[in-house]
Amino acid sequence: MSLTSPLRHPDTRDPGLMAKRAWWLLGLNLLIPGSAQLLAGDRRWGRFAVGATFWLWGIGLGAVLLMLLARPVALTIATNVVTLWVLQLGLVFYAVLWLATTLNTLSLTRIVRAAPNARGPLAAFVALSLVLTVGGAGWAAWITGIGRSTLGSVFASGFIEAPIDGRYTVLLLGGDAGPDRIGLRPDSISLASIDASTGAVTMIGIPRNLYNTPFSDDSPLWQEWPNGYDCGDECLVSYLYPWAEEHPELYPDAEAEGSTPGIEAMRDAVEGITGLPVQYTVLIDMQGFAQLIDALGGVTVTVAEGMDLGINGGPVVGRIEAGEQRMDGATALWYARNRYNLTDFDRMEHQRQIQEAILRQIEPATVLTRFQAIADAGQQVVRTDIPQSMLGVLSDLAVKARELPITDVELVPPTIDNVEPDFELVRSLVAEGVAPREQEQ
C-alpha cells in the first residue's frame, strides 16, 4: 500500500484513523491550498490550487528580494495604481480559492466518521482557518483598495523626476482655514530640502510674518511687486496666499495643473526668499492635521517649558506641562498654534517639533493597523502636486531620513530680522544648511 492510501482510501470504520486523517488534510490545506485535493480528492483541482499558491509565494518572494535589493523600485511599483488593482484582484481571487479548498477539504475529511471527541476541535479548526485565510486575504484586498483610492485622490499624475542639484525640495504649508476665519493663510511655512542620495533632510523655517518678500524676474509677482512684497503690515508673506487667490489671472494655469494661485504664489515667494527651487508643494489644513495625528495614534514630544493654553488677552483654557508628553491630535494642534504669552517664532519651533516627531515616530505597523483612519485623514487634509510616481523615491528617502539628524535652519530673530530681513544673509544660511549634506555624499 502506498503512503497516500490512508488519505485517499482510508478505513472509515476506524474513528481514530479518520480523526488523524482529518487533522492532516485540514492542516495541509491551511499551509498549501490544494494539497488536500492532490492527496485525497480531485487531483486536477488540487494541481490548479497548488500552482496558484506557488505563484503567490513566488511573487511574494520576488517582492521581498526587490525590496532588499532595489527598495526605491519596489516602492514605486507598490504605489502604482495598476499594481494595486492587480494586487487587489489577486487577493480576492486567492480568498475565494482558499474558501473553496477549505470547504472541499472539510467534505473530504468525512468528519462524521472521526472520533466524537475530535469533531468539535476539528470544526473549530476549520472556522479558525477560514478567519485566518479568507478573512486575512479579504482584509488585505480591502486595505489595498483603500490605498489605491487614497493615492489616486491625494497625489497628482506625472512621471518620476530627477532631483535638482542632487536634492528634492518640498514646500510644506499649514493652512489656518476655519469657521472663524475668511479664506486661508499659511500659518506654517517650511521648506524641506532632501539629499537624493542619503535622505538627509534640511528643514528651513520661514516666519509667516516675514516682510518684503522678493521675487525673481520670471515670477508673475515680480510684475506686481518688482521691489518685493513691500506694502508694510498688509504684506506679510503669509498674506500672499489670499492676495493671489484674489488675482487668479496671475496664474491662469494653476487650477488645470492641480494647484491654486495661492499655492503658486507661495512657491514663488519661498524661492525668492531661500534661493532654492521648489519642486513640490504640500498644503495641510491645520484643523485636519489633528485628525491625522489621531489616526497615527498620537506623537511624543519633549516640551522644554510648561505652557498655559489660550490666546493673548483671552482666558487660559488648558496647560501642557514640561517634559516628555504623548499628545493626541487636539493637544498637538494646541502645542503648534498656542498664542498665550508666546511669539510666532515660539510657535514655529513647536510646529517643527511636531513635524519631526511624525517623521521619526511613524511605524509600518502603525500604518497597517490604522490604515483606513490615516487614509481618510489624508484625503481630507492634504493637497499636493507630488506625482504618485514619485512616492517610491520619496518613501525610500523617508526611510533613510529616520536614521539621520535633521538640520534646522530657522530664519527668525535675532539672526534674521523679520521686518527688515537681510535676504543675502538668508540665502547664505540656507546654502550653509544644505551644503554639509552634499559634502557627506
Task: Please check whether residues 343 and 406 belong to one and the same domain.
Answer: yes
User: What is the number of domains present in the chain?
Assistant: 2
Same domain (yes/no): 104, 175: no
Per-residue model confidence (pLDDT) at position 107: 92
Encode pLDDT of 86-113 as tens digits: 999 999 999 999 999 999 999 999 988 8
Residues 148 and 55 in one domain: yes
pLDDT confidence of residue 331: 93
pTM for this entry: 0.77
Shared domain check, 397 and 329: yes
Same domain, 173 and 268: yes
pLDDT given at position 441: 45
Where a domain ends, among 128, 154, 180?
154
Domain range holding 23?
5-154
Stretches where the chain sits below pLDDT 50 are 1-4, 178-182, 438-441
Residue 59 lies in a domain: yes
Residue 9 in any domain: the answer is yes
The 3 state secondary structure assigned to the chain is CCCCHHHHCCCCCCHHHHHHHHHHHHHHHHHCCCHHHHHHCCHHHHHHHHHHHHHHHHHHHHHHHHHHHCHHHHHHHHCCHHHHHHHHHHHHHHHHHHHHHHHHHHHHHCHHHCCHHHHHHHHHHHHHHHHHHHHHHHHHHHHHHHHHHHHHHHCECCCCCCCECCEEEEEEEEECCCCCCCCCCEEEEEEEEEECCCCCEEEEEECCCCCCECCCCCCHHHHHCCCCECCHHHCCHHHHHHHHHCCHHHCCCCHHHCCCHHHHHHHHHHHHHHCCCCCEEEEEEHHHHHHHHHHCCCEEEEECCCEEECCCCCCCCEEECCEEEEECHHHHHHHHHCCCCCCHHHHHHHHHHHHHHHHHHCCHHHHHHCHHHHHHHHHHHEEECCEHHHHHHHHHHHHHHCCCCCEEEECCCCCCCCCCCCHHHHHHHHHHHHHHHHHCC
114 assigned to some structural domain: yes
What pLDDT sits at residue 440? 47
pLDDT of residue 168: 95
Whether 161 is covered by a domain: the verdict is no
Note whether 218 and 323 are same-domain residues.
yes
Report the pLDDT value the prediction gives residue 356, as an integer from 0 to 100: 82
pLDDT of residue 4: 47
